[in-house]
Amino acid sequence: VVFSLPSANNFAMKGKRKTLNAGDVLSAMEEMEFQRFMVPLKESLEVYRREQKGKKEARKDKDKKADSEEQDKSREEDNDDDDERMEEEEQNDEEEVDN
């Protein structure tokens, strides 16, 4: 695989990119006739991509839960503030009646 890196770099340069991607490496390996490694490498790459996608989705779900919990807490705090205001108003009303 090390021998295919210069060739993979050529594929990236043709694409006007500085960063190699999996396709560059696979194309270079194919060009250098490393076909026996292609199938296992492609399968491993697909497994890796599925794992990464699963992790990303799990992270999104976790973030959504955290956001909804924060919104619930914010609503509770707003309700507490409203309750305090109502209590103060009731006390002020009672004081006015006494006066």
pLDDT digit string (tens) for 62-93?
888 877 777 766 666 666 666 666 666 666 66
Nearest to 20, CA basis, from 1, 36, 37, 33: 1
Q: Which domains does the chain possess?
A: 3-58 (1.10.20.10)
CA atoms within 13 A on the CB side of 40: 4
Q: Would you say 46 and 71 are in contact if contact means Cβ atoms under 8 Å apart?
A: no
Residue 35 has what pLDDT? 82
List the structure tokens of 74. 């914010």
| pLDDT value of residue 67 | 76
As separate numbers, helices (DSSP H) first and strands (DSSP E) second, the chain gives 3, 0
Taking the whole predicted model, whether its pTM rises above 0.75 is answered as no
Q: Which residues of 50-79 are buried (b: 16+ CB within 10 A; e: fewer)?
A: eeeeeeeeeeeeeeeeeeeeeeeeeeeeee
d(CA 4, CA 23): 12
pLDDT per position as a tens digit, 2-51: 555 677 888 888 888 888 888 888 888 888 888 888 888 899 999 999 99
